[in-house]
Structure 1
Amino acid sequence: MSLFGPAATTHRGAPVVDVDIYGDDVIDDAPAVYRRIRDAGPVVWLPRHRMFAVGRFDDVRAVLRDDATFRSGQGVAANPVANALGRYTTLSSDDDAHMTRRMILMHSLTSRAIRRSLPTFESEAVSTVERLLDRPDFDGVADFATRLPVQAVAQLVGLEVTAEQMLTWGRATFNGLGPANGRAVRSMGDSLGLLGYTLKVGRRHVRPDGWGSTILDAADRGEVGRLEAKNMIIDLVAPSLDTTILSTGQLLWSLGTNPAAWQQLRDDPELVPAAVVEAVRLASPVRSFTRRVASPTHIGGVSLRPGDRVAVLFAAANSDERQFHHPEQFSLLRNGGHVGWGHGIHTCVGMQLAKLEMHTLLRAMIPRVTTITVGQPERLRNNCLQGFESFRAAFR
């Protein structure tokens, strides 16, 4: 019997790929495993996790669009405990509940709303680039990619906790969204710490002009319940830093390993948006979430039944050679979209904020940085996050 209840116990003809998609060996060699999953078929069976998985671009997009069949309301994790604990978050919701929570968050995160913070972002971006130009080298993640989210965005969230604490909580929460493996167990204290903190949040814990305050305002208006509002604080803390940091780290590393692309970008700054989109595709900072099947359906001739869990592999889809020519390469001229920010009604709420941060950093770099050099990266090991933990870099 599956831990998820009435889930699949046989693969029903789906190709079997016997890998632990959350294991260190897979994280360290993810492209090869993603290719194996894609080549096996439109949907595969993962016996170690007792769930199905989709990794081809078209199939991932189709699943994300069909939110009536592939549901998030009973959680998007690969373990039932996390799914139960996260049931009041925006991420783990469907239909009207999802749209209500989403609109409350969007009050702070629309392009128009975050434009007011542009001068702060620009000042911090210039300060970051000029400080790093004075150093012989630096850490591309800790010193460059992390700086703007930590200095600016953490302040906008408006909670009385440090940015470092938010980072710790965020990474632990993403670890908890995988299976109940050793990594998740080791992170449990920090992920429960975030949950415990949000359950105690009141007006005294948030700044009146912060994003957290807007959620409590919605509860005061009766748009969401008090417990629901407290849990929605997790939607601000968990994804607001790490996903942007990982995408920004990928952006820097890609430009450092492609000097021709950096020169092309300096010659034509209008390509800045294209550079950001391409970096997010390559980064795919969220490796995967799961969906629960609500009604009988088929993918590639494989029958899926209510209760089945399907891992939606964003990172595999973004490296699908069926969709992208030479997907492993960074290109400023690539056409078409990707699923690095998700797709459908669960598209990342903070997408515009992430774009603005990364655009601002690039525009600070273009007139000041002639060359970028980067070293071999160390990969982050996290159940659901994907990207670089660290790499050396230098500006000249």
Structure 2
Amino acid sequence: MTAAPRAAPIRARRAARRDAPTVDVDLYGPSTLVNPQPVYRKIRDAGPVVWLPKHKVWAMGRFDDVRDALRDDVTFRNGRGVAANPVANLLGRKTVINSDDDRHSMRRRILMESLMSRAIRPSIPVLREEAEATVGRLMERESFDGIADFASRLPVAAVADLVGVRVSPQQMLTWGAGTFDILGSMNRRSLDAAPTALGLFLYTTRLNRSRVTPDGWAASVFDAADRGELTKSEARMMVIDFVAPSLDTTILAAGQLLWSLGQNPELYAQLRAEPDLIPTAVVEAVRLASPIRGFTRTVARDTDIDGVRLHAGERVVMLYAAANMDERHFDAPETFTLHRRGSNLGWGHGMHTCVGMQLSKLEMQTLLQVLITWVSTIEVSDPVPMSNNCLQGFASFRSRFT
């Protein structure tokens, strides 16, 4: 008798899944992580929203549907976490990305105090100096690693100091990769990365003002706690929002930028002749790279998408990387071009758009300004894809400047 009220909703959910398009793939499997495009295409071709029985979640892979869902923060919520497993969602509580409504707005505003254009403008000379040092050093070498030696140098040398935590840049990179890895399903990669991600979590629980640099970004959240806008616990956890995403995503996008220019020498020559195209080149590289595959959101209320019924409490993977390669929205999406117009989802969309987007753009534009001034040609070869549950891009590739 007591089970009857619960049985009907469960039957309704099962019926909706049974009648919906189903794609039986392992979104976080080893082959998908290193070659995701065939899986993304299957998901896009199957429908606007599809059921993934392997992970027991819904998935969206078409551009318009993902963009619309990211705008609808009433139906699709972040507050219960953005990972595909409950452990990571538990660890991520009190961060900016794992919040909604007024609490999210408050936390986001506090982060943006450090990351808005006017706040990062004083860092431009530092970024330029490091970009020139990086390119100058690499021009003297026969060849180099496009990720470790080029794409990583500016974030590691300049941005890591701006964060203002007293740990090495390499430790930040390790924490970042591990934190993104545990956002997938509870697979072997998530389990292996759990100690690393837990290490970052435990580190933040011990943070206080004396453990961060006085003028760094991390200090700004403790300032907010002193003003009563955050609890001390929130302030500590929000340091994760600076540490985890500040390096990896920009590194992967900058690596894609270098690779694309090396693969398209005629476009690099055009860019040298028309520097005004630098912002377009950066945005296009972010679209192609789509460093974050996607985050999950929780359905807050029953809703229909193209005849498919999603029920409150279910999870949907918003696949930014699949959406950015959607041939329904982009002409020749696999092609790098300097003439593509319009936005993409490489930095997310809506109220949860990446708070570090302006800094990321500035870093890559600075690198590109130095490149087109100093480097005549770029050669690239031997790409090695990275393997991470949430991040995608190059682990390494060989490159050469002349």
User: Which of the five TM-score ranges fits, normalised by the shorter chain?
Assistant: over 0.9
Q: Provide Cα deviations, 1:180-206, integer angstroms capped at 9, x if missing partner.
A: 110011011110000000000011210
Query: Matched residues in 2 for 1:126 and 1:82: separation?
Result: 39
Query: Matched residues in 2 for 1:240 and 1:29: separation?
Result: 25
Note if 1:303 corresponds to 2:319: no
Answer yes or no: is the 8 Å Cα contact 1:218–1:224 preserved in 2.
yes
Aligned to 1:352: 358
Q: Provide Cα deviations, 1:215-259, integer angstroms capped at 9, x if missing partner.
A: 100001010111111100000000000000000000000000000
TM alignment of 1:61-140, pairs within 5 A: 61-140=67-146
Following TM superposition, by how much is the alpha carbon of 1:105 offset from its aligned partner in structure 2, in angstroms? 0.3
Q: Provide Cα deviations, 1:242-290, integer angstroms capped at 9, x if missing partner.
A: 0000000000000000001100100000000000000000000000100
TM alignment of 1:106-255, pairs within 5 A: 106-255=112-261
Partner amino acid, structure 1, of 2:274: D
Note if 1:25 corresponds to 2:20: no
- Aligned-residue sequence identity (percent) comes to 60
SS at match of 2:58: strand
Query: Matched residues in 2 for 1:237 and 1:84: separation?
Result: 18
Following TM superposition, by how much is the alpha carbon of 1:29 offset from its aligned partner in structure 2, in angstroms? 2.1
Answer yes or no: is the 8 Å Cα contact 1:8–1:51 preserved in 2.
no
Query: Matched residues in 1 for 2:188 and 2:152: separation?
Result: 27
Runs of 4+ that moved beyond 2 A:
6-10
SS at match of 1:375: strand
Aligned to 1:363: 369
Note if 1:376 corresponds to 2:382: yes
Aligned to 2:270: 264
Query: Aligned pairs, how many?
Result: 392
Following TM superposition, by how much is the alpha carbon of 1:300 offset from its aligned partner in structure 2, in angstroms? 1.3
Closer, same or farther: CA 276–236 of 1 in aligned 2, 3 Å: same
Equivalent residue in structure 2 for 1:292, among 298, 306, 310: 298
Aligned to 2:332: 326
Query: Matched residues in 2 for 1:237 and 1:9: separation?
Result: 40
Note if 1:316 corresponds to 2:298: no
Query: Matched residues in 2 for 1:346 and 1:142: separation?
Result: 29
SS at match of 2:199: helix
Aligned to 1:3: none
Following TM superposition, by how much is the alpha carbon of 1:24 offset from its aligned partner in structure 2, in angstroms? 1.2
Query: Matched residues in 1 for 2:132 and 2:224: separation?
Result: 36
Aligned to 2:397: 391
Partner amino acid, structure 2, of 1:323: H
SS at match of 1:338: coil
Give the unaligned 5+ runs of structure 2: 1-9
Partner amino acid, structure 1, of 2:51: W
Answer yes or no: is the 8 Å Cα contact 1:8–1:307 preserved in 2.
no
Following TM superposition, by how much is the alpha carbon of 1:26 offset from its aligned partner in structure 2, in angstroms? 1.0
Query: Matched residues in 1 for 2:35 and 2:161: separation?
Result: 36
| RMSD of Structure 2 on Structure 1 (CA) | 1.2
Answer yes or no: is the 8 Å Cα contact 1:78–1:179 preserved in 2.
yes
Partner amino acid, structure 2, of 1:112: R
Partner amino acid, structure 2, of 1:116: P
Following TM superposition, by how much is the alpha carbon of 1:8 offset from its aligned partner in structure 2, in angstroms? 5.2
